[in-house]
Amino acid sequence: MIENYLLEELITFAHEHTLAKTAAALNVTQPTITRGMQKLETMLAVRLFDRQPNRITLTPTGQLAAQEAERLLTQQRAFVTKIQNYEQSLVTRTVETTLPGPLVLLAHLKAALPNTLQVKQSLITDNQINEHLISRQTSFIFSNQEILTADIESRFIGSENLVVHLQRFMYRANQPSITFAELKGISFVVLSAIGIWKTIIQQAIPDAKFLYHPQRTAFTEITKYSDFPYFSTNFTTLDRHPQDNQNDDDNRVAIPISDDSAHMPIYVNYLVGNRHSLTPLFTQFEAAWPN
């Protein structure tokens, strides 16, 4: 069996192109690399290197061997990670999300959720969903993506619905619902960490200005002591930050936005084999989902 350190040396040489640079990159001596490469050639019974008086290069066979070695070591690392993640999943369950709203739901349910459920606060991207599930880096992921493959499936949990808060004396405020187009040209104060909603409102509202604030405290103070319009969703009712108490003298009214893009379906994505064990949690999420 070929030892991994020999493959590492071959891969590094393919990247560095000289024995001296390979030795430096691996923090070993140049004779060590020379002996390792000779040993690898003997074990494979092929010529991997073209040796000239002042130069050594990979033969075509050596180039293929380096590519296959890199692929093999990548697979080995993925194997180790997957097994370790699986072992960890027997003790704890990890949940991730591509959207900020579900984090509010999970915080609201914290006392009722199992102590073994670990919530990752950083949002991931849509293109990380499959990778994180297949590698068992996470148990399930909230997203607005419905995924149905041989390994992964999705369950609809509920919708996140966007609402705009307008100054009650604006003519637009005197209606039961409103469209994005009717919000044209208005300036809004917006919390920065709103995920995909940022793209939606920027693309859907013509000529609008958005004053983004990264800190919740600053955002709350501005919405409390000014008449700037702002957005919320049905998750806002579950957010129990003490500083978010609304001003009793607030002159704004909450108006649902009627556009289809203001109503986002949210799913949990998970491995098919974990469906049975995760179903009680998903039922709990559905029961607590805000209207």
| pLDDT tens sequence across 2-29 | 899 999 999 999 999 999 999 999 999 9
Q: Which letter does DSSP use for residue 144 in this model?
A: S
Residue 44 has pLDDT above 60, yes or no: yes
Domain assignments of the chain as residue spans, ordered by start: 4-88, 159-263
Helix axes 275-288, 101-108, angle to 10 degrees: 90
- Helix/strand/coil (H/E/C) assignment for every residue in 225-240: HCCCCEEEEHHHHHCC
> 102 CB contacts (<8 Å, ≥6 apart)?
142, 235, 266
Model confidence band, residue 230 (pLDDT cutoffs 50, 70, 90): very high
Whole-number Å distance between alpha carbons of 164 and 162: 7
The pLDDT tens digits for 261-272 are 999 999 999 999
- The predicted pLDDT at position 63 comes to 95
Largest CA distance in the chain: 87
- The predicted pLDDT at position 160 comes to 96
Whole-number Å distance between alpha carbons of 280 and 256: 31
> Is 9 within 8 Å of 37 (Cβ atoms)?
yes
With a pLDDT cut of 90, the percent of the chain lying above it is 68
Whole-number Å distance between alpha carbons of 279 and 23: 53
Fold of 159-263: D-Maltodextrin-Binding Protein; domain 2 (3.40.190)
Whole-number Å distance between alpha carbons of 185 and 71: 53
> Is 73 within 8 Å of 127 (Cβ atoms)?
no
Give me the CATH code for the 4-88 domain, please.
1.10.10.10
Structure tokens at 84: 């370790």
Half-sphere exposure of residue 161, counting CA atoms within 13 Å on the CB side? 17
